[in-house]
């Protein structure tokens, strides 16, 4: 009976889809250029094998730091990818994570097995290694769903921001126009914003008030649960 058993030879990896948002630009994805085979010279999302003594989240944070210098403001487990042919070297199961950062607060630098690290528009991604395009597609769907019940988009903005920045960010993430008046009314009704005394002038119009994110109110809504439908 024992002779008929097959020993497992499966490796565990972590990968990270990190979204960033530059002021008035497309939603961005962090990619690294691989310096080793397979797919040497190709673009991929950051990631690598989990060490024997590492927790999964510790592993993905280490890989992000080593390959890009990024420390995500928001990070959560996304999905597990385990097709037998996803890595040409051997059987690798990857636990993918979704992360959000404000690129203004992070300086990219490539190290470890990464030759380079860059931000790419979600609409202009290069050909990706492994099954990373599929991982990004699933992460984007999760992000577009998640912002309707958890205001995670605030992780992508500056500490102080005009309301127009928040509006543009949500429009960029969902990929379509929104009812501006309805959007503002709903956001303000949840008490998620604190109005500051500072203003910012944009274009020829009047200076706009700046807001900050109300962390305490967010935690209250997170515990109660809410649905923020965007139209």
Q: What is the pLDDT of residues 60-97, one digit of tens each?
A: 999 999 999 999 989 999 999 999 999 999 999 999 99
CATH 3.90.79.10 fits 8-146, yes or no: yes
**Alpha-carbon gap, residue 202 to 209, rounded angstroms:** 11
Q: Please report the pLDDT score of residue 73 as a whole number.
A: 81
Q: What is the 3-state secondary structure (H, E, C) of 201-223?
A: CCCCCCCEEEEEECHHHHHHHHH
Q: Please report the pLDDT score of residue 205 as a whole number.
A: 65
* pTM as predicted: 0.90
**Alpha-carbon gap, residue 155 to 22, rounded angstroms:** 12
Cis preceding-peptide flag for 38 (omega within 30 of 0): yes
Tokens of 45: 């999302």
Which of 95-109, 188-202, 216-230 shows the lowest per-residue confidence on average (mean pLDDT)?
216-230
**Alpha-carbon gap, residue 91 to 221, rounded angstroms:** 42
Give the full edge-to-edge strand order of the sheet including 208-213: 161-162, 208-213, 193-200
CB atoms within 10 A of CB 43: 20
Q: Please report the pLDDT score of residue 26 as a whole number.
A: 86
Average pLDDT over residues 127-152: 93
Q: Please report the pLDDT score of residue 113 as a whole number.
A: 79
Instruction: For residue 105, name the pLDDT band (cuts at 50, 70, 90).
Output: confident
- Read off the pLDDT of residues 146-193 as tens digits, 9 standing for 90 and up: 888 887 888 899 999 999 999 999 999 988 888 999 999 988 998 999
Answer whether residue 228 shows pLDDT above 90: no
Give residue limits of the domains in the chain.
8-146, 152-224
Mean pLDDT of the chain: 90
Cα angle: 82, vertex 84, 88; to 5 degrees: 110
Q: Please report the pLDDT score of residue 104 as a whole number.
A: 86
- Read off the pLDDT of residues 25-73 as tens digits, 9 standing for 90 and up: 789 999 999 999 999 999 999 999 999 999 999 999 999 999 999 999 8
Q: Please report the pLDDT score of residue 204 as a whole number.
A: 63
Where residue 18 falls (left for φ over 0; alpha for ψ -120 to 50; beta otherwise) is beta
152 versus 14: which is more confidently predicted?
14
Q: Please report the pLDDT score of residue 62 as a whole number.
A: 96
Instruction: Judge whether 8-146 and 152-224 match in fold.
Output: no
The CATH classification of domain 152-224, taken from the options 1.10.10.10, 3.40.1190.20, 1.10.4160.10, 3.40.50.620: 1.10.10.10
Query: Environment class of residue 70 by beta-carbon count within 10 Å: exposed (0-12), middle (13-18) or buried (19+)?
Result: buried
Q: Please report the pLDDT score of residue 203 as a whole number.
A: 64
Q: Contact, 94 vs 50, CB < 8 A?
A: no
Q: Please report the pLDDT score of residue 94 as a whole number.
A: 98
């Amino acid at each position: 009976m024992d002779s008929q058993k097959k020993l497992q030879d499966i490796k565990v990896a972590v990968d990270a889809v990190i979204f960033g948002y530059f002021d008035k630009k497309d939603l961005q994805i962090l990619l690294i250029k691989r310096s080793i085979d397979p797919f040497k010279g190709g673009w991929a999302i950051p990631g690598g094998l989990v060490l024997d003594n590492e927790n999964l989240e510790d592993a993905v944070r280490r890989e992000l730091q080593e390959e890009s210098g990024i420390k995500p403001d928001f990070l959560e487990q996304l999905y597990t990818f385990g097709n037998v042919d996803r890595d040409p070297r051997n059987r690798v199961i990857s636990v993918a994570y979704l992360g959000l950062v404000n690129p203004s607060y992070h300086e990219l630098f490539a190290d470890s097995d990464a030759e380079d690290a860059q931000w790419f528009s979600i609409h202009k991604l290069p050909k990706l290694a492994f099954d990373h395009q599929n991982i990004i597609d699933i992460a984007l769907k999760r992000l577009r769903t998640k912002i309707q019940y958890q205001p995670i988009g605030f992780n992508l903005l500056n500490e102080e921001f005009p309301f127009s920045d928040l509006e543009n960010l949500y429009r960029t993430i969902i990929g379509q126009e929104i009812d501006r008046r309805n959007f503002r009314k709903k956001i303000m009704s949840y008490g998620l914003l604190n109005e500051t005394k500072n203003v910012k002038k944009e274009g020829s119009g009047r200076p706009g008030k700046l807001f900050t994110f109300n962390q305490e109110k967010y935690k209250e809504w997170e515990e109660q649960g809410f649905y923020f439908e965007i139209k």
